[in-house]
Amino acid sequence: MKKLLLMLVVLVAVSTKGFSQTTPENQSFGQKLMKKLEFGITAGGNYSNFTGATFATDPLPGFHAGLTVAYKFTDNFMVQEEFLYSLQGAKVKAGILGTQDIKLSYASVPILFKYRTDGGFFVEAGPQASFKVKEDLGGITDSKFAKKVDFGMAGGLGYQSKIGLGIGARYVYGMQKVQETPSPVLGDFKNNSIQASVF
């Protein structure tokens, strides 16, 4: 995750430096492009669980944090990409896995189409790819329980003030099975998460 954040910062710095050293014609293009881009940071809480499992679970509190970059097609419509570290999973209450917390840490990259009104309220939706960073099953961190890649669909709403500060709520619906090795005993369960953010 640190490498991903560092790469993004370097890319932004190189792009900005490149724009400042071009000819006046290209500089005008660079300035126009930068006006269409919005960069930011975001952080908040997760409330995640598994759906489709044959064992009983409760939601697991977690968190997410990262960087955002958006390209504005118009003043109201944009596409936003995020680079997040996100802790998800579930609290297992009973069944073959016993009683334990399953914690799955991901580097998540949602790509969201966003419509924001002139008043600052917005809706957003799009796909999300998540890459497993680590997992923790009751203290065991090398079990290879979950797949390396997880896909989902995200949708949300929120409000962003004119100074850029905002709040948002989002639901991420898992589209693929969590387990690396399918098990009819455990069921075909998927990740699902509710997120609340400040950005």
Report the length, in residues, of the chain. Answer: 199
Is a pLDDT exceeding 60 seen at residue 57? yes
- Please say whether the dihedral angle defined by the alpha carbons of residues 194, 97, 187 and 58, taken in this order, is positive or negative: negative
CA distance 179 to 177: 6
Identify the three-state secondary structure at position 3.
helix
Whether the pLDDT of residue 18 is over 70: the answer is no
Q: Which amino acid is at 90?
A: A
> Class assignment of domain 38-198?
mainly beta
Residue 138 pLDDT level (bands cut at 50, 70, 90): confident
Predicted TM-score of the model (pTM): 0.80
Confidence of residue 4 (pLDDT cuts 50, 70, 90): very low
Alpha carbon distances (Å) from 21 to 12, 28, 37, 192:
15, 11, 19, 46
What tens digit of pLDDT does each residue of 147-182 get?
999 999 999 999 999 999 999 999 999 999 998 877
* Rounded Cα–Cα distance for residues 93 and 58 (Å): 7
Using CA atoms, how far residue 193 sits from 17, 64, 116, 124, in Å, is 39, 11, 23, 16
pLDDT category at 33 given cuts 50, 70, 90 is confident
**Per-residue pLDDT reduced to its tens digit, 109-130:** 999 999 999 999 999 999 999 9
